[in-house]
Amino acid sequence: MAMASIESVTLDVADPTAANHFYTAAFGLDTQIRLRASEAPTTGFRGFTLALTVSQPATVNSLIDAALDAGATPLKPAAKSLWGYGGVVQAPDGTIWKVATSAKKDTGPATRRVDEIVLLLGVADVAASKRFYVDQGLAVAKSFGRMYVEFAAGSSPVKLALYRRRALAKDAGVSPDGTGSHRLLIGGDAGPFNDPDGFAWEAASPAPTP
């Protein structure tokens, strides 16, 4: 049996046309993230963030600057940290994006190349959610006790990771409080199901052909 993984990530947004314009302009994402019109009530932290991993600090700055130019709100300015360099912005649709690199120094000119997209779910109990996802057929790639779990992505464009909700909100620079819809739908060969924190998965459908 093939390992289960994420095939698609769909964000529920009020205005898909505007959101598509933002993601293309900000991050060059047009096929990796799907958009669906939704007015589902949601307030505060939606319990997840999306992280773009890139090769060097100059590329972090390039993507964050493009996002701010396209209308994003800064949550954490790009800065050096123990593990590398990164910053956090909030898209006009409300989704929180982190752009980061483990490199401390630039090795070339800035690009807009994204090496990896990671969907970080903020969960109440990392150990319980890890067990749940392993039962759904996902394979653990890295695990740090009850703090953080990362699953193997296989050939998927998006990697799944679990983080404690409070820690994830702190990392994003926002309050952990939030109610209503997560405004997120995860497509994969493991679905359809709802996970212990109410994140919805659907059975993977192939990308629509233009």
Beta strand 184-188 with 42-44: parallel, antiparallel or unpaired?
unpaired
Instruction: Find tokens 């924190």 and name the residue.
Output: 197
pLDDT score at 191 = 79
The pTM of the whole model exceeds 0.85: yes
Residue 156 burial (CB < 10 Å; 0-12/13-18/19+)? buried
pLDDT score at 68 = 98
Nearest 5°: phi and psi at 17?
-65, -45
Is residue 117 within 8 A of residue 50, CB to CB? The reply is yes
Is residue 22 within 8 A of residue 14, CB to CB? The reply is no
- DSSP per-residue letters across 24-39: HHHH--SSSEEEEE--
Which residue from 23, 37, 14, 42 is spatially nearest to 179, judged by alpha carbons? Answer: 42
pLDDT score at 66 = 97
pLDDT score at 204 = 76
Our CA angle for 183, 68, 157, nearest 5°, is: 50
Our CA angle for 3, 120, 78, nearest 5°, is: 135
pLDDT score at 32 = 84
pLDDT score at 210 = 52
Which tens digits make up the pLDDT trace of 109-157? Answer: 999 999 999 999 999 999 999 999 999 999 999 999 889 999 998 888 8
- Rounded to the nearest 10 degrees, how much is the dihedral formed by the CA atoms of 125, 128, 131, 133? -50
Q: Which residues of the chain have a pLDDT value below 70?
A: 1-3, 205-210
Q: What is the DSSP letter of 100?
A: E
Q: Which two tokens stand for residue 132?
A: 């749940």
